[in-house]
Amino acid sequence: MLIIHEILQSDRNDLNRQLRGQTSPKHSLLAEKQQQFLRPLPQQTFEACRLGQAHANSLSLVRFDTNSYSVPTK
């Protein structure tokens, strides 16, 4: 665990470092550069689910698409 902590601290220190010839720290420059490639969030909401009826078989399995899922017996 100590090694992971040291690596994370080293990464944080590197991101807070100011590069030669730049007026902002490295993390700010990376954030500015990343903004060029990000798209705005869509205006409409997206429901990341699909609702439907399902029935469990005698083995307590429910079929969804091509997968079978184990469900409680109640």
DSSP string, the chain: -HHHHHHHHHHHHHHTPBPTT-SSBHHHHHHHHHHTTPPPPPSS-----------B-TTSEEEETTEEEE----
Count other Cβ atoms within 10 Å, centred on residue 62.
13
- Decide if pLDDT at 47 tops 90: no
Distance CA 18, CA 36 (A): 21
- Tokens for 52, please give them: 């439907």
pLDDT digits (tens, 9 = 90+) for 50-65: 888 888 999 999 998 8
| Global pTM exceeds 0.75 | no
